Amino acid sequence: MPLSPNEIRSRAASFAREWAGQGYEKGQTQLFYREFFEVFGVPIKRVATFEEPVKHADTSKRGFIDLFWKGKLLVEQKSMGQSLIKAKTQALDYFPSLKDEDLPRYVLLSDFQTFELYDLEAADGEEGELKFPLEEFAKHAHKFGFITGVEKKTFKDQDPVNIDAAELVGALHDALEDSGYTGHDLERFLVRIVFCLFADDTGIFARGIFEDLIERRTNPDGSDLGGWIAQLFQTLDTEKGPTRPKTLDEDLDAFPYVNGALFKETLRLPSFNTEMRDRLLDACRFDWSEISPAIFGSLFQSVMNRDERRQMGAHYTNETNILKTIQPLFLDGLWEEFERLKSRSMRDTRRKTELEKFRERLGSLRFLDPACGCGNFLIIAYRELRILEIEIVRELIDYQRDSFGQFNAPLDVSDLSRVNVDQFYGIEIGEFAGRIAETAMWMMDHIMNNRLSLEFGPYYSRIPLRKAPHIVVGNALEMDWSDILPPAECSYLFGNPPFRGHQYRTEDQQADMWRVWGRKGQVNRLD
């Protein structure tokens, strides 16, 4: 499990005491950053390299980046007392020579006794620069949450990172399928693997332990990989403590209990070879912290056979179009109500009560998508509701400040959110897409819990999973929707049902049309 915030702060304080008054660039940089990353419980070898060769943009001479984590962090280190102005110029000078996909979000400059951290993707209005002395490391340790996978995400429609991730899963899918591993077991296996890949990079697991297990503990020819994965799935479905075997391998015991029935079913597992293991390792080495669960779900589904995908009527609705649907349906009205409450004077004795009632109401809403596919509409609706809730919380916590603007006691982040995934319901005819939707909802939940933690206090996670979205696998045209969500409890219904031209319908789909619309008139021409 990831380290607790208190443990990280304690380690940061010890690190600061140990390195006070020290700092020689050539002889101590690597030891300094090995111990720096250990503050967060992340062995540096899992994520970064020292002395990465690169050409200078102005002279074309070869230089060396002191520490480089591709796509995440570039460190330029100087000896104690040296100017960091030159270090910043030197760090940025490396950028033109880096591949686009390797460009880091963060730049860290240090002379051992001071730090300067720059977030190059900070949104407008957010602090993108942090400077502090070594002795204040414990105070600012939470700003390095990206090391453990806890960072604020900004998702972009059509982001290539989602396509890259789907292609990696597609390559693994093809290798498994070519070996004769197919059907239900393959689909559930891939969903579990994607969850593990995401968990490995976002703080659900201690960072990198899944990749480390596959790379370090399994044979290069893949002969024992299936056995290790079987044990891992069983471990993820077993609570910590006496229910786990006393003889359980310590690398497996480091994994948390996930719950949520995600790992409960016993699957027939594949017999791996070298190529299949290599495809899994390729996926492990990718940074899964950057993907959008909403968009990736649909791309993930595209690893299915193309003919089957056309037959099922699957299609991709981008985020922009989803927002065009849900904003006028309910989001715009909720935001308008919040702005009215927010604008009331702090002296208004009803303001706090009304804000609390509004937050409780968000937690009571129920949403249904009767043709949810991989859950795009549900996932984005959930994310947007959590974003609104965070703004409500921001207003409410001001009432807990004293006359000096400080909190009398640490905030209990776990008590701040009322919105949860079990408010969302979906019907999906394909089991694979339905399981993707369920898992992607949990992934988005974790991302939003990370955001809540970054905004208001200590790290907060809903692991083990206690609640789940209600995704029912079946034909929505043959089901009584009220059995899934009674109409009186349904707040909003939305979605984008799959479509097929009338000339491409199967006999079953034609029967669905007749059952719903009858046989009179031109209904047969409807998509």
What is the pLDDT at residue 311?
46
Three-state secondary structure call for residue 469: coil
Angle at 63 between CA 60 and CA 68, to 5 degrees: 125
Sign of CA dihedral 40, 43, 47, 52: positive
φ, ψ (nearest 5 deg) of residue 75? -115, 130
Q: DSSP string spanning 393-426?
A: HHHHHGGGB-TTS-BSS---GGGT----GGGEEE
Report the amino acid identity of residue 135: E
Q: Where are the beta strands (DSSP E) in 111-213?
A: 114-119, 129-133
Q: CA–CA separation, 17 vs 134, rounded Å?
A: 9
Written as six digits, the tokens of 486 are: 């009674």
For residue 238, give the nearest of 215, 212, 264 by alpha carbon.
Answer: 264
φ, ψ (nearest 5 deg) of residue 465? -70, 125
The DSSP 8-state label assigned to residue 2 in this structure reads P
Angle at 501 between CA 497 and CA 505, to 5 degrees: 90
φ, ψ (nearest 5 deg) of residue 49? -130, 155
φ, ψ (nearest 5 deg) of residue 44? -65, -30
Residue in the block written with tokens 């974790």? 446
Residue in the block written with tokens 């893949």? 222
For residue 38, give the nearest of 65, 66, 64, 18 by alpha carbon.
Answer: 18
φ, ψ (nearest 5 deg) of residue 116? -130, 120
Alpha carbons within 13 angstroms on the beta-carbon side of residue 476 total 20
The DSSP 8-state label assigned to residue 135 in this structure reads G
Whether 81 contacts 111, CB under 8 Å: yes
69 vs 152, 168, 209, 481, CA distance in Å? 18, 20, 17, 49
What is the pLDDT at residue 411?
73
Written as six digits, the tokens of 140 are: 């600012």
What is the pLDDT at residue 309?
38
What is the pLDDT at residue 430?
87
Give the full edge-to-edge strand order of the sheet including 129-133.
Answer: 49-55, 62-69, 73-77, 106-110, 114-119, 129-133
Q: What global pTM score does this model have? A: 0.75
Q: CA–CA separation, 70 vs 74, rounded Å?
A: 8
Q: DSSP string spanning 278-314?
A: HHHHHHHHS-GGG--HHHHHHHHHTTS-HHHHHHHT-
Q: CA–CA separation, 10 vs 41, rounded Å?
A: 12
What is the pLDDT at residue 391?
95
Q: DSSP string spanning 244-284?
A: S-TT--HHHHTSPP-BTTTTTS--PPP---HHHHHHHHHHH
Q: How confident is the prediction along the chain (527 residues), in pLDDT tens digits per residue?
A: 667 777 888 899 899 999 998 877 777 999 999 999 999 999 998 889 998 998 766 666 788 999 999 989 999 999 998 989 989 988 988 999 898 888 999 999 999 999 999 999 887 767 789 999 999 998 888 889 889 887 666 555 556 777 788 888 888 998 999 999 999 999 899 999 999 999 999 889 988 899 999 999 999 999 999 999 999 999 999 999 899 999 999 999 999 999 888 999 999 999 999 999 999 999 999 989 888 887 767 767 666 554 543 444 445 567 888 999 999 999 999 999 999 999 999 889 899 999 999 999 999 999 999 999 889 999 999 999 999 999 999 999 888 877 666 666 667 888 899 999 999 999 999 888 899 999 999 999 999 998 888 888 777 788 999 999 999 999 998 899 999 999 999 999 998 876 666 666 777 777 777 677 777 766 666 65
Q: CA–CA separation, 42 vs 8, rounded Å?
A: 11
DSSP lists the bridge partners of residue 129 as 118
- Cis upstream peptide for 464 (omega within 30°): yes
Greatest alpha-carbon pair distance for the chain in Å reads 87
Report the amino acid identity of residue 207: R
Buried b or exposed e, range 378-407, using 16+ CB within 10 angstroms: bbbbbbbbbebbbebbebbeeeeeeeeeee
What is the pLDDT at residue 525?
63
Buried b or exposed e, range 44-81, using 16+ CB within 10 angstroms: bebbbebebebeeeeeeeebebbbbbbbbbbbbbbebe
Report the amino acid identity of residue 389: E
Three-state secondary structure call for residue 365: coil
Three-state secondary structure call for residue 449: helix
277 vs 187, 226, 274, CA distance in Å? 17, 10, 5
φ, ψ (nearest 5 deg) of residue 177? -65, -40
